[in-house]
Structure 1
Amino acid sequence: MESRRSEILSLVHQHGELPVAELSKLLGVSEVTVRSDLKALAEAGQVRRARGSVRPPLELRRESPLEQTRHEHSAAKRRIGRAAAALVRDGETVFLDVGSTTTEVARALSPTLQGVTVVTNGLNIALELERLSGVRVIVTGGTLRPLQHSLVSPYALDVLKHIHADRLFLGCNGVHPEHGVTNANHEEAEVKRLMVAQAREVVVVADHSKLGQVSRAHIAPIGGVTTLITNRRGPEPPAELDGALREMCLV
């Protein structure tokens, strides 16, 4: 039993989330046995149970450096980035949040855009946008977080309070029907929340691994999201999430 539970922990940590049915097949035991093991592991705080599946506890999903996350689901992030960038129109003011997927949005912006203002708290994103002659880039300022090349308080919020954007492209670590959009870092979440408040439309860009997940810091309720752009690869988005969103774009 102990060996089986150790194997369950190993599989959950490796995959992030696994259906009970799949665990049953991988371990060669009944779903009843798996559920019994999961009950014991959840009570010990080693896993989190969800409807028909199991996930790691929140504290095990630590924030990773941008240089690492950009290689995770990279093809999906490029497709999401292209779909998001296609929404930007001449003359708009856009908030572009930090993260590996929002970086792909910056890379996919059309060189023919004119009169666009992009406000970002990501230093790497600002550098990506230097190539676009028709895009004016405003960097928020603030305290540097090297892990994500992001700028946070103090001072980052001061700039955002004076700007209203047509659209926000928001990165995150989790999108959940009940717990909303969440992030791994509280300082960044503070900046993201103000961006949400100052934007007319909120476009969440998140690959399928973020769907149904909950991270440490709350950003916005699902009702505050205008559109979710995600990828088709992997399991279908949770039905509860699909029903809660105003619009979901699968690429």
Structure 2
Amino acid sequence: MHQRQGQILQLLTRQEQVSVSELSSLLGVSEVTVRGDLDQLGRAGLLRRTRGGAARPLEGEQALEESSKQYAAAKRRIGRAAAALIQNGETIFLDVGSTITEVARHLSPALQGVTVVTSGLNIALELERLPNVQVMVTGGTLRRLQHSLVNPYASDLISRIRADRLFLGCNGVHPQHGVTNANHEEAEIKAQMVRNSKVVVVLADHSKIGAVSRAHITALANVHTLITNQHAHRPLSEYAAEIPQVLSV
């Protein structure tokens, strides 16, 4: 599937838009298959679905407040399940994004001695309500629409910390192509967090399962747990060979 989706994206670099029937003829697959590919690429932000086909994505980036509205119930369930994994005394990395924000919202007030390191300004503000959680912000350069901090300088603090767990957001989780993200600057920070964490927990709603985005973060071999919801487009058994724990909530 990845090769076929790559052909679709390559075609959209040469022309503004493309129809389902055109792609079906060009790729030698059914229109149902093409629509499935377009839906998946659209959810990953790599193209824009149109009536009867697809077009290049609009310039600019979707604000966090907008992405939070997509699959909101699923993201809440995933965030709640992830937050339940955190234990007293741990040092954790909380990445950025709408699903990771749900982890911060579901952290228990009963936690003691937990240190949270985050590159998300909105996540740091969410954690102000927890008096027994120490919050560290990475610093760096602000990406306004995502309220996230990136290089230069963001990696400096991360490189000095060895976290017990990382809760990692993404735009795609693929059996062969690993964990990917739509933004290269954020992917750089995410990859640094992976390298400095004992346990990596990937959070991805069903629209991310099987998708491949622009910037590589890490291979599935480095992921210890995947938490998703129950409507994944690909069988979760495809991930079991590489990821020890796959949870569907």
Output the TM-score relative to the length of structure 1: 0.78
Structure 1 equivalent of residue 242 of structure 2: 244
- How far apart are 1:172 and its partner, in Å? 0.2
- How far apart are 1:243 and its partner, in Å? 3.7
| Conserved 8 A contact 1:223-1:246 | no
Equivalent position amino acid for 1:188 in 2 = E
CA 54–236 in structure 1, closer or farther in 2 if over 3 Å, else same: closer
Aligned-residue CA RMSD (Å) = 2.5
In the aligned structure 2, how far is the partner of 1:241 from the partner of 1:64? 29
SS in 1 for 2:179: strand
Higher Rg of the two aligned structures: 1
Structure 2 equivalent of residue 145 of structure 1: 143
Q: Say how many residue pairs are matched.
A: 213
Structure 2 equivalent of residue 60 of structure 1: 47
1:175 to 164, 173, 176: 173
Where do 5+ consecutive residues of structure 1 fail to align?
A: 1-8, 10-26, 28-33
- How far apart are 1:242 and its partner, in Å? 4.0
Deviation digits for residues 7-41 of structure 1, max 9, x if unmatched?
xx9xxxxxxxxxxxxxxxxx9xxxxxx7x85241x
1:1-251 equivalences under 5 Å are: 37-40=23-26, 42=27, 53-55=36-38, 56=41, 59-60=46-47, 63-233=61-231, 235=233, 237-251=235-249
In the aligned structure 1, how far is the partner of 2:76 from the partner of 2:46? 28
In the aligned structure 2, how far is the partner of 1:107 from the partner of 1:217? 27
Output the TM-score relative to the length of structure 2: 0.79
Point out 4+ residue stretches in structure 1 off by more than 4 angstroms: none
| Conserved 8 A contact 2:209-2:232 | no
Taking only the aligned residue pairs, the percentage that are identical comes to 60
Deviation digits for residues 35-93 of structure 1, max 9, x if unmatched?
x85241x59xxx9x78x952348741654210111000000000000000000001000
Deviation digits for residues 93-125 of structure 1, max 9, x if unmatched?
000000000000000000010100000000000
In the aligned structure 2, how far is the partner of 1:129 from the partner of 1:37? 47
In the aligned structure 1, how far is the partner of 2:72 from the partner of 2:23? 34
In the aligned structure 2, how far is the partner of 1:130 from the partner of 1:165? 20
Equivalent position amino acid for 1:54 in 2 = D
